[in-house]
Structure 1
Amino acid sequence: MSLLQGIILGFLQGVTEFLPISSSGHLVLLNNIFGIKEGVLFSTVMFHFGSLISIFIYYFNDIYKIVLGFIRLLINLVKNKRINIENGYQNFALMIIIATIPTGIMGVFFKDFFEGLYSSLLAVAIAFMITGAILFISEKFLSGYKRARNISIFDALIIGVFQGCAITPGISRSGSTIVGSLFRGLNKETATKFSLLMAIPAILGASVLDFVDVILNNSMALTLPIIVGTLVSAITGIFAIKLLVNLLKKGKLYYFSIYLWLLGGLLIFLNFKG
């Protein structure tokens, strides 16, 4: 991987992780274009780590309050032998953990199936089309009222399933979880925040598993292109989050539907033409 490729892939990861157009699908596409075969897994892990940095920077105050709320929740559980949710931050913490459960189960049991899709550009193209469709439907037909305090366990489990489906390359994690949140009645601001904060355990868990594979396969090489790409991913991720929040408030998610339909249609055309 050259330095330029590292910058491009890092930029792509930072943008597509948060904009609902699928980071995994675009990384598969770019790796095919560049013909990158070696070190792909480790670079992917590092670029996703850059995305985590973006979330921590953008939502630092919220994460701080969520962590404090969760600690108080645990203290109260030990003292009173019961869970007493006092505010939205505590509920956010608990629901994020619950939402991660179905995602983790799907990742463990269907890992081989999902990984097999990474070798098929046609599968990625179809997934792009599906992501475009669910974004369009959500923008036109879904709206909600629930805030952080109102998210239920059933809501969290359903949204977690939506996130699990995003293991498929071409299915956007942010897009699917926002749609799942809107489907369960969350308002747009809460849906966006819940979706992005859910990414922390999801990305962290997937990265740990991939990092173990990297170590076992002796494929770890912290090169300059990977370091630079990780930094680029973190910086561009912050701007991508801001853009997503603004577009969702203005009801402009269908912009991404148009892009995904065009890209997916082009890839399907090229696949059958070739």
Structure 2
Amino acid sequence: MTINCKGRLIDLSRPKIMGILNVTPDSFFDGGKYSAPESLLTHAATMLEQGATFIDLGAYSSRPNAAFVSETEELDRIIPIIELLLNAFPEIILSIDTFRSEVAKQCIEAGAALVNDISAGLLDPKMLETVGQLKVPYIMMHMRGTPQTMQQFTHYDNLGKDLLFYFSERLAQANAHGIHDIIIDPGFGFSKTLAQNYELMNHLELFNVLERPLLVGISRKSMIYKLLETTPQQALNGTTVLNTLALQKNANILRVHDVKAAMECLTIVNQLNA
């Protein structure tokens, strides 16, 4: 189970860690924290040293009720950061968290390696065509509506079956556009209630039937801190518990804020499976 990132084959049969690097002022956990070049470079260096295979770079917060950001502003935020990071770390594998095809195109042309789309191509009709032309790996996530409206769409006839149908349809569309390296993200926290998030985690192995790498992103999310009646800043322990469970249910990539803790989960689960 491999993906091709700028000519490098990444083997996902052994799980990998994706570190989160937000350059948004309103991200739910680290908004505005990494706006200065020095802090960005320091944080990226730390995540790489701790074992991150990928760095996921986002310039538009996708938290519930996030503020709208224009395409121009998104590009103005993210392109200089790509150039900064590649200049400092030429071998870095950058994933671009965007649902806009033009942002994806310009970021890949600037040197990024993957596209991470929260909408699986549904928020921009040109996304799948663009990714197919770019010949890069594509992470498709489950969401209904937009970041501003997604929590209005939490009714499912059968959560697991509905998500499998969604991904089957999106995979068919992606394949039709020549996209072959595809990673599935169930979209924890997106268009799902707290109870539905845990139902999804409890049946995560359902996605094995799709025969695609699985990305799990639950780092410090409200499904953890609301259940524990705490805050995102105090949600690392809960994140670690769920990351461990996700690995035991065959997650291939963990998308996290805390790379060191996630790598420790990975080391322990690998030892259990040795």
What is the TM-score of this pair, normalised by structure 1? 0.29
Computing the radius of gyration from Cα coordinates, the structure with the larger value is 1
The normalised TM-score by structure 2 is 0.29
Question: Which structure is richer in relative contact order (CA contacts within 8 A, separation 6 or more)?
Answer: 1
Which structure carries more helix by proportion?
A: 1
